[in-house]
Amino acid sequence: MKKEYVHLLDHEVDQAGKRLRPLLDKAAADASPSISANLAAARAAAVARVAALEAERSAASTVVANGSTLAVNGGGLRERISDWRFWATGIVVAGLVASYAFSQYRESNVAREAAEVELMILGDDVPVDALLDKGFSSYLREENK
Amino acid sequence: MSAERKKKWRVVAEKQQTLPPEQRERVQQRMENWSRLSPDERKKARAGYEEIKQLPPEKRAVAPQKWDEYRNLPPEKREELRKKAAAERDAPKK
C-alpha cells in the first residue's frame, strides 16, 4: 500500500495543533501514573539531550574562536618571530628603505652643493663667458707672473 | 629637465632670495643663458670659477677689469692665449 503525504501550510499546522491540544491535555490528565512517569522521563531525557547539544555547539564555537585568535595574535606571531625568514625579509626591506633614504639624502646634498656653486658663479662679478674662455685664465696667469 | 636639475634650480631660487639686490639681479639675468649651457660647458665654467677663486685677493678683485682688458686684446692674441692654455692642459703633468 502506497503512503500518501499531505503537505500542510504553517497556519494549517498551527490550527491543527490548537484543535488537538485540548484533546491531548485531557488525555494527559487522564493518563495512568506509569504513563505520566514515562512521559516525564522522556521529557527530561529530551531536555537533557537539547542541553548537551547546545553545550557541544557552544564549546565548538569557542574552540574555533580561540583557534582563530591564536592564529592571528598568538601562535602565528610567535611563529613568525621565531622564523628566520621573517627576520631576513625584515633586514632586506630595512636595507632597501635605508638605501633609498640615503640615495635621496645624497642626491639632495649634491643638488644643494651644486646649486650653491652655481649661485656663486651666476652672482659673481666675473661673467660666465670669462669662465668658459680658457684664454682668459691663461691671460690671468700671465699677468700674475 | 631631470629631477636633480629641478632640485638644484629650486635651491638656487630659494638661496638667491638671501643675496644682496645687485647680485640677485645678476643671477636672474644670467640664469637663462646658464640653463642653455651643456653639462660640459657648465663643468668648464665651474673649473674656471675654481681657478679664479684661488687667485690672491688683490688679483681676484681686479678680475672683472682684466676680463675687459682681455676682450680688448686683438683676436690673434686671444687665440694665442687659448692655444697656450690648451697646450698647458694637454702637457703631461710633472
In chain A, residues with a C-beta closer than 8 Å to the C-beta of B25 are none
The grid cell for A54 is 547546545
- Identify the band that residue A137 occupies on the pLDDT scale cut at 50, 70 and 90: confident
In chain A, residues with a C-beta closer than 8 Å to the C-beta of B48 are 130-134, 136-137
Option in B15, B37, B78 nearest A119 (CB) = B15
Q: What pLDDT is stored for residue B79 in this prediction?
A: 93
**ipTM summary value:** 0.81
Q: Report the SS3 class of residue B44.
A: helix
Q: What pLDDT is stored for residue A69 in this prediction?
A: 46
Max avg pLDDT among A110-119, B17-26, B74-83: B74-83
Question: Does residue A14 surpass a pLDDT of 50?
Answer: yes
In chain A, residues with a C-beta closer than 8 Å to the C-beta of B4 are 107, 110-111
Q: How far apart are the C-alpha atoms of A31 and A141, rounded to whole Å?
A: 134
Q: What pLDDT is stored for residue A145 in this prediction?
A: 64
The residue in chain B having the minimum alpha-carbon distance to the alpha carbon of residue A113 is B8
Q: What pLDDT is stored for residue A72 in this prediction?
A: 45
Contact A116 B15 (CB under 8 A): yes
The residue in chain A having the minimum alpha-carbon distance to the alpha carbon of residue B30 is A122
Option in A120, A128, A140 nearest B63 (CB) = A140
Residues 52-91, chain B, touching A (beta carbon < 8 A):
52, 55-56, 59, 63-64, 66-67, 69-70, 73, 78-82, 84-86, 88-89
pLDDT tens-place string over residues A40-94: 899 899 999 989 988 888 776 555 555 444 444 445 777 777 788 888 999 999 9
Q: How far apart are the C-alpha atoms of B34 and B48, rounded to whole Å?
A: 14
In chain B, residues with a C-beta closer than 8 Å to the C-beta of A139 are 66, 69-70, 73, 81
Option in A118, A135, A144 nearest B12 (CB) = A118
**C-beta separation of A130 from A136 below 8 A:** yes
Average pLDDT, stretch B33-61?
Answer: 89
**C-beta separation of B11 from A115 below 8 A:** yes
Q: What pLDDT is stored for residue A2 in this prediction?
A: 66
Average pLDDT, stretch B72-87?
Answer: 91
**C-beta separation of A119 from B42 below 8 A:** no
Buried b vs exposed e over B53-65: b needs ≥16 C-beta within 10 Å?
eebeeeeeeebee
**Length of chain A in terms of residues written:** 145
Give the count of Cβ contacts less than 8 A between chain A and B: 131
Q: What is the mean pLDDT of chain A?
A: 81
Q: What pLDDT is stored for residue A27 in this prediction?
A: 79
- SS3 string, chain A, reads CCCCCCCCCHHHHHHHHHHHHHHHHHHHHCCCHHHHHHHHHHHHHHHHHHHHHHHHHHHHHHHHHHHHHHHHHCHHHHHHHHCHHHHHHHHHHHHHHHHHHHHHHHHHHHHHHHHHHHHHHHHCCCCHHHHHCHHHHHHHHHHHC
In chain B, residues with a C-beta closer than 8 Å to the C-beta of A127 are 30, 64, 67
Give the up-direction half-sphere exposure of residue B52: CA atoms within 13 A in the CB hemisphere.
29
Q: What pLDDT is stored for residue A112 in this prediction?
A: 83
Question: Does residue A30 surpass a pLDDT of 70?
Answer: yes
The grid cell for A41 is 522521563
Q: What pLDDT is stored for residue A68 in this prediction?
A: 47
Q: How far apart are the C-alpha atoms of A15 and A37, rounded to whole Å?
A: 29
Q: How far apart are the C-alpha atoms of A32 and A58, rounded to whole Å?
A: 39
Q: What pLDDT is stored for residue B59 in this prediction?
A: 86
Percent of chain B with pLDDT over 90: 28
Q: What is the mean pLDDT of chain B?
A: 85
**C-beta separation of A123 from B27 below 8 A:** yes
Q: For chain A, which residues make up each domain, given as ranges?
A: 1-82, 83-145
Q: How far apart are the C-alpha atoms of A3 and A7, rounded to whole Å?
A: 13
Percent of chain A with pLDDT over 70: 85
